[in-house]
Amino acid sequence: MIRALIPAAVLTTLASPAMAADVYMWGVGPRLGTNFLPGAYPAAFPTIVADARQAAAPDAPVIDKVRTDVVFGFESQYYINGGSRIGAIGGFGVGKQYFDAHIIGKYDVVIQSAAVDFLVGGGAGFGTQRWKGSEQASLRVPYFPLRAEAAGMIRSDWMAYQLTVYGQYNLQGHHYYFDETGTEVPVRGGFYPTMGLELSVMFGDYEPPRPRKKGE
Answer whether residue 214 is part of any domain: no
Question: Looking at residue 49, which CATH number applies to its domain?
Answer: 2.40.160.20
The whole domain housing 43 covers 3-205
Q: Which amino acid is at 136?
A: Q
Answer whether residue 168 is part of any domain: yes
- Asked if the model's pLDDT at residue 216 lies above 60, the reply is no
The predicted structure's pLDDT at residue 181: 86
The predicted structure's pLDDT at residue 136: 85
Answer whether residue 211 is part of any domain: no
Looking at residue 83, what DSSP letter applies?
T
- pLDDT tens for 149-166 read 999 999 999 999 999 999
Helices (H), the chain: 8-14, 17-22, 47-55
- pLDDT tens for 163-208 read 999 999 999 999 999 988 889 999 888 999 999 999 999 999 999 9
Answer whether residue 124 is part of any domain: yes
The DSSP line for 133-183 is: -STT-EEEEEEEEEEEEEEEEEE-SSEEEEEEEEEEEEEES--EEE-TTS-
Q: How confident is residue 1, by pLDDT bands cut at 50, 70 and 90? A: very low
For the chain, give the mean pLDDT: 86
- pLDDT tens for 13-41 read 444 444 445 689 999 999 999 999 988 99
Answer whether residue 198 is part of any domain: yes
User: How many domains are contained in the chain?
Assistant: 1
CA 27, CA 204: separation in Å to the nearest integer?
A: 4
Answer whether residue 200 is part of any domain: yes
Looking at residue 41, what DSSP letter applies?
B
- pLDDT tens for 94-105 read 999 999 999 999
CA 65, CA 123: separation in Å to the nearest integer?
A: 26
Answer whether residue 52 is part of any domain: yes
- Asked if the model's pLDDT at residue 10 lies above 60, the reply is no
Answer whether residue 215 is part of any domain: no
- Asked if the model's pLDDT at residue 210 lies above 70, the reply is yes
The predicted structure's pLDDT at residue 171: 96
- pLDDT tens for 52-87 read 766 665 555 578 889 889 999 999 999 999 999 999
- Asked if the model's pLDDT at residue 11 lies above 80, the reply is no
The predicted structure's pLDDT at residue 48: 84
The predicted structure's pLDDT at residue 60: 55
The predicted structure's pLDDT at residue 2: 41
pTM of the model: 0.84
